[in-house]
Structure 1
Amino acid sequence: MKIDTISKKCIKPSSATPHHLQYFKLSDHHRRFPDHHTNLTFFYPAESIITDHASNFALKSNLLQQSLSQTLTLYYPFAGRFQNEDIIICNDDGILFIEARTDTPLSDFLNQPDPNLMCNIHKHLVPTHADAKAEADAGKTVEISISNGSMILLKFILFGCGGTAISVSISHKITDLASIVTFFRSWSSSCFHVRSSHNTNGLSTDVQIVEPDLNFIGQTITAGPDSTSSAKPVLSYALSGTKSIAKRFFFSPSKIEQLKTKIISAIEKSEQDHQHHYRLSRVDVVVALIWKCALAAASTSKKDGHHNQTFRPSVLLYAMNIRPRIIPPLPETCIGYLACQFYMMVEKESDLELHELANKLVATKAHAKEVGEKFQGDHDQQVGFEAIMKYFEEERIEFMKNLLKKKDVLFYICSSFCRSSLLEADFGWGKPLWVINSSDNENLLINTIVLLDTKVIGAVEVLVTFGEEEMSAFECNEELLQFATVNPNII
């Protein structure tokens, strides 16, 4: 697919950030995270009544840019730059916005997805800092050069049929999935208001602007730009040391119910305490199956040129939103990385049964709830949040100390985007057909599992990334293929 860039701009807040808000100090929790980016691409169908796709695209792009500028006044740290691990300078440098087009129809792109779909999406559609640097090196504009270091990069793409895509790359240091969803809700509601103000009939909209709570990211300070960082990130994710492959698998609602029934039946037949199993979610059962099949693939793949038939202990790192687990719960409009990584471990081959793995997931969620209840009664929710995160950090450190005593442990990283409202992102021309999280093959994190909603209610789409040997064994796993479809058509 050939993509042509139409324009590149740096979108700044419509109102200047007041001087007293210029320096923003991150909380202890946020300082620990490295500044890697989350990539999401939203695909929108063409409007059937529109024939002049180029003019309509230009109109949409103008609406997106105006409403984005207004939205950034509410999210003013997002338009700033990291000075170091501690400080954001909120100087309204803005965010990179790219317009692009391709002659490829959206239907061709989504009807028959090729095996390297996620990589191709990242390669062609996802904006990167290299996009800004190329312009700066060419000396085209000063404005583009300051877009380097942008916390958010956006690309708006026109397809040959009139369909469009909005692709975002956003800093994960100060945002989690809930924050991204809230940002898009604010942006889309602002877009409706801008569209209404341009309407010659004077029509208004009842859509309310979603206002964020930035207090959990950190606080405004008076320190100048000579501030130095005293904190170093303690969380990092290793890139694959071998060539990795990302593939997608689809679980229909009926197959998920079959899988859940199978797991519950196994729990009821076991002699173990199964007090949690009736709360099994679709995510729990799908993750359990993926984890089991991944371990089976790892045990049959080659290691050092020889087939490895030996069981290896495994750790699953599972990211969980903390907002609903604080009492009283925090609203989803609280912005920041308000999530925690929980570790689950399989130490014995006898623990590889599906119901065992599913119960580990449910028990971990129950533990998170218990910790939230432990800090119930804190009048300051920010203090309560920091206390909970400190508690989990101490647990994590203790877990890692014990883990260091073990050898040859398989790590998996899992994130669920289900029930996140990503498919509700409507800017005035309908909801997206599909939303995808993507990375390129050169920067794939090894052994990752990402779950997303689809247009089919109750279904789950799973993106997995493994080494070539593991993926070859994984995608042929008979138990997996009883419940999952490999890389089906998207529309």
Structure 2
Amino acid sequence: MHLAHGIITSKVQSTAMEIVTISETCIKPSSPTPSHLKTFKLSKHHQHSPDIPFFVIFFYPASSIICSTDHDDRYLNSSQLLKEALSKTLTSFYPFAGRFQNDDTIICNDDGVLFIEARTATHLSDFLTHPDLMPLGNHLISAASISTDAEKTIELISNSSLLHVKFTLFGCGGYAISISMTHKIADAASIVTLIRNWTASCRSSNRNIGPIVLPDLSILGRTISDPGATSSVTSKSTNSWGPPNNKECSSKRFFFSASKIDQLKTQVVSEIGKSPSRVDVVLALIWKCSLAAASRNSPMFRPSIMLHVVNLRPFMNPPLQETCLGNLGWQFPIMVENESDMDLHELVKKLVAMKAYAHEMTKSFHCDDQQDIVEEVLEEVEKERNTFFRNNWKKDIVFYVCTSWCRLSLYETDFGWGKPVWVNNTFKPNSLMVNAISLMDSKEFGGIEALVHLYEEDMSVFECNEEFLQFAAVNPSII
């Protein structure tokens, strides 16, 4: 395993917990990337994807971690195992260990990924009884916490690493593992592919279980033999989504049990003629109630657009494997112009129709090269989306964006000490993402957790909506 190491002690504090950073390490691929793979040219779509981070964090209770040693020794052993397995995994995911040369090229010189070790005296059970999104977003996610006198080399690693990992020890002996990646080259499915390979490598140390998945890089980009063929201008992708002012924002967690979701489905199935998905009914209810909050002081109905991010892979013809790396989230705009369209079944119909349209649209694209097909589809979607916004732009329109991590089997993530007690894909607090909704499977089979990020004044109305509270529990205990 190749490491660049820096020992750092720093503290970050919130009202709920104090986190101490123990060290920050650069994990390099265990085998050097061959010279002919050093220059990785991103596909056209990924050249223009936004360079913004997204996160996922796993929590493991001490009861699932069987070991005779004390907490500190066990943590060090577990951390070493994670590093060694990640180093092996990066040989197949070598672009993730590289650095952007510019918006169209990754130089795969095995510079490595940032691995942060941290600890807190807080017990995991105390945190999970009253989950607090502030320390979760500010301190437990895998963002660097370099002190001003830290080594310059480690500071450079933290600023340029495409993948961050943070491994936190709780006072009770439980663990949290957070993973952060840039949306420029990855999405939720890409992170899951990496995690499945990484966890299999961890478990193979004491059992005969090798990597169960290997990545397909063909959609993300291609290696090129002539580095001079890349652009020489360094630029930075930016994310244009965000609030146009400095209003305070608020993130809240809501839980929908399987039985409550079934009740929602029952409400709409007679109107739409078939049973909708869990995601469709939950998203429709959140959209309806959040728009009501945003429109409370308006003299007339405010139109709204939902940008629903859909995984492109299963919509292609033939479908792409989930192991295809890249940012293949497909933003479809869905419009609500009239107050009569805000009935729950009408919103569900719009969401169902959007997916049907996506299936139909992709059938018309055929060629021999998968990357070319994807590029053509995405180019056509972009054209249609631009036309949609030109034709439907209104001054007082309310935008929302939704991503779904459902059906990704994240609760099966086993690094060798059992399955997580909780998985969360938190937003970074006070980020530019507003009117954003993230859906994820709950630990309870068939349930959904929703993380909703609204303006603070809208959230105070939204979370008290009586219709919404018939189906949603506000930040219930995990344990």
Question: TM > 0.5 between the two?
Answer: yes
Contact between 2:200 and 2:211, CA under 8 Å: does it hold in 1? yes
Contact between 1:86 and 1:229, CA under 8 Å: does it hold in 2? no
The one-letter code of the counterpart of 1:119 is: M
Q: Does 1:248 align with 2:247?
A: no
Structure 1 residues 258-284: Cα deviation after superposition (integer angstroms, max 9, x where no partner): 11101123x1xxxxxx4xx41410110
Q: Secondary structure at the match of 2:160?
A: coil
Tell me which residue corresponds to 1:331. Answer: 321
Tell me which residue corresponds to 2:373. Answer: 384
Q: Secondary structure at the match of 1:374?
A: coil
Distance 2:374 2:214 in 1: 20
Tell me which residue corresponds to 2:48. Answer: 32
Alpha-carbon RMSD across the aligned residues, in angstroms, is 1.9
Contact between 1:315 and 1:412, CA under 8 Å: does it hold in 2? yes
Tell me which residue corresponds to 1:109. Answer: 127
The one-letter code of the counterpart of 1:118 is: L
Distance 1:482 1:207 in 2: 46
The one-letter code of the counterpart of 1:350 is: S
Q: Does 1:171 align with 2:187?
A: no
Distance 1:166 1:345 in 2: 38
Tell me which residue corresponds to 1:22. Answer: 38
The one-letter code of the counterpart of 1:79 is: A
Structure 1 residues 324-352: Cα deviation after superposition (integer angstroms, max 9, x where no partner): 11121111000001221000010111111
Cα 1:316–1:22 change in 2 (3 A) is same
Tell me which residue corresponds to 1:218. Answer: 221
Tell me which residue corresponds to 1:200. Answer: none
Cα 1:225–1:443 change in 2 (3 A) is farther
Distance 1:264 1:249 in 2: 23
Q: Does 1:373 align with 2:363?
A: yes
Tell me which residue corresponds to 2:450. Answer: 462
The one-letter code of the counterpart of 1:11 is: I
Distance 2:171 2:358 in 1: 48
Q: Secondary structure at the match of 1:473?
A: helix
- Corresponding residue to 1:321 among 294, 301, 311: 311
Cα 1:234–1:360 change in 2 (3 A) is farther
Tell me which residue corresponds to 1:304. Answer: none
Matches within 5 A, 1:36-435: 36-47=52-63, 49-50=66-67, 52-113=70-131, 117-129=132-144, 131=145, 134-135=146-147, 137-140=148-151, 142-193=153-204, 195-196=205-206, 204-221=207-224, 222-224=226-228, 227-229=231-233, 233=237, 236-239=240-243, 241=245, 242-265=247-270, 267=271, 274=272, 277-300=273-296, 307-375=297-365, 377-404=366-393, 406-435=394-423
Size of the aligned set, in residue pairs, is 459
How far did residue 187 of structure 1 move?
0.7
Contact between 1:31 and 1:231, CA under 8 Å: does it hold in 2? no
Distance 1:368 1:234 in 2: 27
Distance 1:351 1:451 in 2: 23
The one-letter code of the counterpart of 1:373 is: K
Distance 1:478 1:124 in 2: 33
Structure 1 residues 20-79: Cα deviation after superposition (integer angstroms, max 9, x where no partner): 211111111111112100011110111364451111111110010001011111111101
Structure 1 residues 218-242: Cα deviation after superposition (integer angstroms, max 9, x where no partner): 1112224973359985863224631
Cα 1:169–1:391 change in 2 (3 A) is same
How far did residue 209 of structure 1 move?
3.6
Runs of 4+ that moved beyond 4 A:
229-235
The one-letter code of the counterpart of 1:348 is: N
Q: Secondary structure at the match of 1:69?
A: helix
Cα 1:139–1:354 change in 2 (3 A) is closer
**Larger deviation, residues 228-237 vs 172-181:** 228-237
Q: Structure 2: 5+ residue runs without aligned partners?
A: 1-16
Distance 2:432 2:418 in 1: 31
Q: Structure 1: 5+ residue runs without aligned partners?
A: 197-203, 268-273, 301-306
